[in-house]
């Protein structure tokens, strides 16, 4: 990688970044992935983008006060989890106002990746109680540890296990039912 393209203004050291730079860099690296995480939690793309946008705005305001700036990504993720929970809490009200009653427009690319198997699993995931869904998304998509999930959701590790096992059991049953029908 040549130095010639690097603007002189930007320090290599994240600790020297101001909030604008931090947001710009972290956005480039994590925007899309965090929207993907939020999408799994809130199930609609517009809300997912809102939640992640709010997380970046919050990070900007907090940047100078983060004890350990390396925790910025964890902070963003936590903000997304919290924001997604708020969205779900208000979903009942919002649902009456949202323009599109159905999931994302089924673009060709989305349809292509959602095979029948994916659809069954995702439908079962969407039908889970929100706690179970949160635990499964954070564990198996976010790859958080049980401890991190417990802290992130404010519940005990035992509760994390319980929710995960119940959620997986429901998914297993859904997939088996579909196979029997086939």
Residues between 15 and 34 with contacts to other proteins, criterion CB under 8 A: 19-21, 23-33
How far apart are the C-alpha atoms of 70 and 50, rounded to whole Å? Answer: 24
Any contact of residue 64 with other proteins (CB under 8 A)?
A: no
Any contact of residue 67 with other proteins (CB under 8 A)?
A: no
Place of tokens 């106002």: 97
User: Under the phi-then-psi rule, with left for phi > 0, alpha for psi from -120 to 50, and beta for the rest, what region is 7?
Assistant: beta
Any contact of residue 39 with other proteins (CB under 8 A)?
A: yes
How far apart are the C-alpha atoms of 126 and 136, rounded to whole Å? Answer: 11
Question: Hey, which residues between 90 and 109 contact other proteins (CB under 8 A)?
Answer: 95-109
Rounded to 10°, the helix 45-62/19-42 angle is 150
What is the smallest separation between the CB atom of 182 and other proteins, expressed in angstroms? 7
How far apart are the C-alpha atoms of 127 and 109, rounded to whole Å? Answer: 24
Any contact of residue 66 with other proteins (CB under 8 A)?
A: no
Any contact of residue 126 with other proteins (CB under 8 A)?
A: yes
Any contact of residue 73 with other proteins (CB under 8 A)?
A: yes
Structure token pair of residue 55 = 């997380």
Q: Which of 64, 89, 90, 123 contacts other proteins by CB under 8 A?
A: 123
Any contact of residue 82 with other proteins (CB under 8 A)?
A: no
Any contact of residue 81 with other proteins (CB under 8 A)?
A: no
């Amino acid at each position: 990688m040549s130095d010639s393209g690097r603007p002189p203004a930007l320090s290599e050291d994240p600790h020297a970044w101001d909030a604008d730079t931090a947001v710009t860099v972290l956005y480039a690296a994590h925007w899309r992935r965090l929207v993907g995480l939020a999408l799994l939690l809130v199930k609609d793309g517009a809300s997912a983008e809102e939640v992640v946008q709010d997380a970046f705005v919050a990070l900007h305001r907090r940047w100078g006060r983060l004890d350990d700036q390396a925790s910025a990504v964890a902070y963003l993720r936590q903000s997304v989890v919290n924001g997604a929970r708020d969205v779900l809490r208000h979903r009942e009200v919002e649902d009456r106002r949202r323009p599109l009653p159905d999931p994302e427009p089924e673009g060709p690319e989305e349809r292509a990746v959602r095979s029948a198997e994916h659809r069954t699993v995702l439908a079962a995931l969407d039908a889970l109680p929100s706690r179970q869904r949160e635990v499964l998304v954070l564990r198996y998509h976010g790859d958080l540890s049980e401890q991190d999930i417990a802290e992130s959701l404010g519940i005990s590790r035992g509760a994390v296990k319980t929710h995960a096992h119940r959620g997986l059991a429901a998914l297993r049953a859904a997939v088996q039912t579909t196979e029997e029908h086939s």
